[in-house]
Chain A
């Protein structure tokens, strides 16, 4: 398995240090400085998101009041009342200052169409989304890491080709189509396959409690998670595979082998930890996406999550709701990026010096 050593690995460490100026003493101070910088950056981004979300969605064409009342007998007075209730009769700058004042105090406003505080609506649907996408991301990250490592370690072999081939094929499959296929085959049943899983939703609503409820929700969770995992794991797999391939030429692996370590141990303890960095970045980006859910999969499986809520909010457009959701999605992303940034120095001491 040994190949000619590349100078890249050796060169990388000094480069990282040189870019940051002179080497410093005391790594914990360096870490704190790194953390503070990243934290500050995150706060600035969050503020920028808060401000832009107001203007970003004013661009969406469509009059919310007209859209909400379409097909319903509505008088001119009613239209005016709605505009007043929504604050749409105020000048734009006043709407903006109101929005900023409220947003900074944690109040995201009242949804036009659901007549409920945006914060409540999001809080109501967030658990469902976190459950679905969270479980899916954990599984596909683990699956991708494992298969990616295997593929890289025996790259070029039949297993590698099969692995990457299947992953890429699944990756290019539209998730809603795969979801429907799974519903038709495993929910409705086809030929000898009986309908094992429910066709949609998060619970049967038969009033189960305790463990019965957990089982019921888990039962509903299987197909949407399978869909998300099938479509998503290729990403982690490919990144892990390529970064491990980069490491495989490293001299330190030759050294490890020369010490007589088993191949398995060389891979697990030496190669993989060094190859993890790009993959970790991607896993955290994916975790950042968790809050946003997956509109398509949530729709096909009628999963009562934030993705579906975002779609409904956009189609009106329900301005306070889209703004609120955008802020929450962006905040989740910023938070996960921040965590990843804070983790890097722990995973790789070269970062953050």
Chain B
């Protein structure tokens, strides 16, 4: 229109933008080379580095607040606990304490604190540090956020001398050799004001007394640790331990293949199978610490006696629960769903915790047997109607719902099998997969649910969540209960084991609890999934698994894996050098080709302009 003649002649912006754009491309191409060389140089000078791929963000570096596994695993490395667990069989072994004895009335525990442990700032570790840590948790609710359950039963904690810690209890407590609480240096932490806001991530290195010292942290990028040369058990062999963030599992596997990380945990069966055939990579298919179970709603109720939720009443009949589990083919679940990377479920506690593991004797065991399941249902009065559906005495058909985690592919796959197996019995099943199952679960609005817990060397907690005391106070509250189980017989045994200081007798009680839980049919363990992980053998020569014979590396009860890891001292430099050379060469070639193409292209354009 009118503006046509007004436009003054000026350099074409489009073309300038284009040049800029292409220049960026060239820059990107050349970038492929430069830092590559920098990295290689770093490897030469920096010594040996063990890099672990992690995905879970750090919630806090304060041991008083941290609840996520990544954070607590790192605290394990930086702070010593009173006791530790033997990598061989998870027995309690000395940690910061060298010895411990309960009093005759079971109410006073005396710990001897070792003399050869020092804080990384040079000050000696004393019983007063431990006493202060526990007292802080007892008096300041904010300091009890993460580990308060350990001190809930403490009456008084004192340090009678630098080597003697005395804990007086309100009532006997068998878990006193399993106090998984990081002991912090009093002289550093007594300066902290508000424990609910202090994240311990501003000043590095962080003063600790574990095998490693935390030296650097960048949120969601990395956490770096250096070996504690003065560690009483001996210094770790690697010169540096880095936890590097990979938010995506496949990207972490790619980093392992490339050698950017030394270790990757939590592999999927597909990833593990792909890595198995690769050179210099060892896949560790270790017995896990989790169980994977089918929970049955026992009729949710609160401590005030009020019932709530809409669990199917037929599930209150032991015969129905028995029949359901008789029709679950655990072998198929292990073989097909877990693709062999799991062990068939027996009792509540996985076999890796040998002293507490219980397996039902043949007479008690509910072996997969659909025919018997049919008979059990027939005998209990659940007859098939004309459509082939089982109907209760009240005329209500046996149509159940199962709560499934939408994020867990195993839940969905097992759900499909259950539909098939129970369908043959004449029982309907609706698989309800949700992103968050916690709301219907807490309200008791479910019939069955996929359930699973990670078990600690001391089983007290995973057993406690099935006691009446953990039910919500009223239907409006939430309790620590897992599945609303409240069984007087189970509670009686729980109370006995909680005060039993004799390890063998306590183990026996724990086994009897599992037997009872098995019989009730409210928690049916289908499998113990394996821990699948992989590491580079050209970076890690040897490393201690837990259990030592065949165990896992990530999330151990103790610092054994990273503390024991021995670097592979190979001529890595040569490799790095040659590959860097290739990289530089190729990048240079790319730059030249792109540059030449650009030059020619732009020239052609400008001559074309002239020709017009």
Contact = CB atoms under 8 A, between A and B. Distances in A.
Interface centre among B18, B33, B46, B220 (most CB of A within 10 A): B220
Interface stretch (B292-300, B311-319, B578-586): B578-586
Nearest to A317: B436
Nearest to A143: B21
Interface residues of A, number: 83
A204 B39 contact: yes
Contacts of B242: 205
B28 interface: yes
Contacts of B13: 268
A268 B7 CA distance: 11
Given A75-B149, A79-B480, A205 B221 contact: yes
Contacts of B57: 114, 312
B609 A299 contact: no
Interface stretch (B93-101, B245-253, B505-513, B538-546): B245-253
Contacts of B436: 60-62, 67
Given A75-B149, A77-B148, A142-B17, A304 B32 contact: no
Contact of A201 (B145, B245, B250, B442): B245
Nearest to B72: A72
Contacts of A212: 35, 38
Contacts of B5: 259
A63 B438 contact: yes
Interface string A137-150: 00100110110010
A189 interface: yes
A205 B434 CA distance: 38
A90 B34 CA distance: 56
A188 B438 CA distance: 40
Contacts of B17: 142, 145-146
Interface in B556-606: 579, 582-583, 586-587
A252 B4 contact: yes
A304 B34 contact: no
Interface in A203-241: 203-206, 208, 212, 215-216, 218-219, 222, 225-226
Contact of A272 (B4, B14, B144, B255): B14
Interface string B441-458: 010000000000110100
B65 A215 contact: no
A124 interface: yes
Nearest to B147: A73
B196 interface: yes
A262 to B, nearest CB: 5
A72 B454 CA distance: 9
B107 to A, nearest CB: 20
A222 B146 CA distance: 40
A195 interface: yes
A66 interface: yes
B219 interface: yes
Nearest to A192: B586
B102 interface: no
Interface string B151-183: 010000000000000000000000000000000
Contacts of B394: none
Contacts of B218: 205, 304
Contacts of B204: none
A266 B320 CA distance: 82
Nearest to B469: A76
A163 interface: no
B260 A199 contact: yes
B520 interface: no
Interface in A54-89: 60-63, 65-79, 81-82, 85
Interface string A301-341: 11010001000100000000000000000000000000000
A348 B579 CA distance: 55
Nearest to B580: A194
Contacts of A308: 220, 247
B612 A264 contact: yes
Nearest to A176: B248
Given A71-B453, A199-B255, A61 B28 contact: no
Given A115-B65, A194-B582, A262-B612, A61 B38 contact: no
A183 B253 CA distance: 11
Given A61-B435, A63-B442, A66-B438, A302 B245 contact: yes
Interface residues of B, number: 86
Nearest to B59: A113
A202 interface: yes
Contacts of A302: 220, 245-248, 251
Given A85-B145, A201-B221, A259 B4 contact: yes
B387 interface: no
A302 B247 CA distance: 5
A184 interface: yes
B144 A197 contact: no
Given A61-B439, A114-B60, A202-B221, A82 B145 contact: yes
Nearest to B10: A269
Contacts of A145: 14, 17
Interface in B474-525: 478-480
B214 to A, nearest CB: 14
B340 interface: no
Contacts of A113: 59
A34 interface: no
Contacts of B396: none
Interface string A105-135: 0000010011110000000110000000000
A187 B218 CA distance: 23
A256 interface: yes
Interface in A147-178: 149, 176
B4 A304 contact: no
Given A85-B142, A187-B254, A194-B579, A268 B12 contact: yes
Nearest to A303: B247
A256 B435 contact: no
B275 to A, nearest CB: 12
Contacts of B20: 142
In order of increasing CB-CB distance, the 8 nearest A-B pairs are A62-B436, A196-B32, A199-B255, A73-B461, A304-B220, A219-B35, A75-B149, A299-B247
5 contacts: A76-B479, A139-B24, A195-B258, A259-B5, A308-B247
Interface of B: 1, 4-5, 7, 12-14, 17-18, 20-21, 24, 27-28, 31-36, 38-39, 42, 46, 57, 59-60, 62, 65, 67, 69, 141-142, 144-146, 148-150, 152, 196-197, 199, 216, 218-222, 224, 242, 244-248, 250-252, 254-255, 257-258, 260, 434-436, 438-439, 442, 453-454, 456, 461, 470, 473, 478-480, 579, 582-583, 586-587, 609, 612
Given A63-B442, A195-B258, A196-B33, 12 more contacts: A62-B435, A69-B67, A73-B149, A75-B152, A78-B145, A85-B196, A115-B62, A139-B21, A219-B31, A222-B31, A300-B247, A300-B248
